[in-house]
Amino acid sequence: MKVLAILPPFLPVDAIRQTVQQILPDIEVKTDADFEPLDAQVLIVTTFTRVDSALLDRVRGLKMIQVASTGYDNVLLEEVKKRGIAVCNIPTANKETVAEHVIALVLSIMKDIRFMDSEIRAGRWPMLSGTQELKGKIFGIIGMGAIGKKLAERLVPFEVELMYYDPRRLSPEEEETLGVEFSSLDELLKLSDAVSIHVPLTPETRAMISSDKLGLMKDRAILINTSRGEIVDEAALIEAAKKKSIRAGIDVFYREPPDFNSEMFSMDQFLFTPHIAGVSMESQQRFITETVANVLRYVQGLEPQFRVA
């Protein structure tokens, strides 16, 4: 079975090719989607490759698409469903990395790390601070999938009160194990001191954190978005930062790289990272391993895991 992989050129493509070919010898690796039509039954992509009609037309005989990522909004699902192509993602490889990144952003904001660092670099020695403890705060998690659950586990030692919202409620046993309390989205936003978003980008979640939803949040509450930029109304978030002193840790943007002229980049309440919450040396190795393992399952005639379409 022929396998085609399209990888972004900034990855160590040669090293990945050598590793993968030992397990999938009949694999072709390309670094862009501009190629002559070819035959392949399996396509491996990252989120940096848009899987649209034009790409699908160039891969003849395609039966399965494996996205080497948790997110898969780069795949035009309506089109692949129409063509009867299976789509799988890897939802578990970066759950540890994202959970740690969320906690790092929250603590950096609450402890005002950026301000203190800049003051010392400027030769000043601040004597007072308005920093806060995470202990005793209410922490809301929007989306209780693999990453949301891992975040809940990692937050237990901080002695926070954990709330969550998800369209599919966990079983009572899971809620008790994780120490989380289910609530509506509105109630979660009203009560939480910190909120972290962990939902996929879908028509239902696009702009779900709107002006009205941000208006429910406490003054100086913290919003963390490591999911997708389009889930939060960016203009509304800027207004909420002005009017309610909402603070935010932002890892994802509407457009990437973003418009650096945006007003939010001049606002002290915001802390930014470059869509890297799920990237660590450990998570990247897991993505490679789990991607190859899932493709190998399909090649061997088994049902692949983590099918999303």
Please count the CA atoms within 13 angstroms of the CA of 133 that sit on its side-chain side: 6
Residue 104 located in a structural domain: yes
Q: Is the Cβ–Cβ distance between 299 and 1 less than 8 Å?
A: yes
CB 52 within 8 A of CB 74: no
249: CB partners within 8 A, 6+ apart: 102, 105, 106, 108, 109, 222, 223, 224, 225, 226, 270, 271, 272, 273
Give the pLDDT of the chain (309 residues) as one tens digit per residue.
899 999 999 888 898 888 888 899 989 999 998 899 999 999 999 999 999 999 999 999 999 999 999 999 999 999 999 999 999 999 999 999 999 999 999 999 999 999 999 999 999 999 888 899 999 999 999 999 999 999 999 999 999 999 999 999 999 999 999 999 999 999 999 999 999 999 999 999 999 999 999 999 999 999 999 999 999 999 999 999 999 999 999 999 999 999 999 999 999 999 999 999 999 999 989 999 999 999 999 999 999 999 999
* pLDDT at site 12: 87
Q: Are residues 26 and 120 in the same domain?
A: no
221 occurs within a structural domain: yes
The parent domain of residue 263 ranges over 95-272
Task: Give residue 128's pLDDT.
Answer: 83
Distance of CA 65 to the CA centre of its chain: 19
130 and 240 in a common domain = yes
Residue 191 covered by a domain: yes
Give the residue numbers marked as catalytic: 228, 256, 275
Which pLDDT belongs to residue 11? 85
Q: Is 84 in the same domain as 177?
A: no
Q: What are the tokens at 240? A: 């909420």
71 and 106 belong to one structural domain: no
Domain assignment present for residue 305? The answer is: no
Q: What letter represents residue 282's amino acid? A: E
Assess whether 88 and 225 both reside in one domain.
no
Assess whether the previous peptide bond of 157 is cis (omega < 30° from 0): no
Q: Tally Cβ neighbours within 10 Å of residue 148.
A: 26
Kindly state whether residues 286 and 265 are assigned to the same domain: no
Q: How many structural domains is the chain composed of? A: 2
Question: Are 129 and 119 in the same domain?
Answer: yes
Q: Is residue 64 part of a domain?
A: yes
Q: Residue 96: which of 157, 142, 147 has the closest Cα?
A: 147
* Residues 204 and 258 reside in one and the same domain: yes
**Residue 307 included in any domain:** no
CATH number at residue 266: 3.40.50.720
Q: List strands edge to edge, sheet with 180-182.
A: 180-182, 161-165, 138-142, 194-197, 222-225, 247-250, 270-272
Residues 138 and 245 in one domain: yes
Which tokens hold the place of 43? 């396509």
> Do 23 and 56 belong together in one domain?
yes
Same domain as 214, residue 86: no
Per-residue pLDDT, 129 = 84
142 domain-assigned: yes
Same domain, 115 and 69: no
In a domain, 175, yes or no: yes
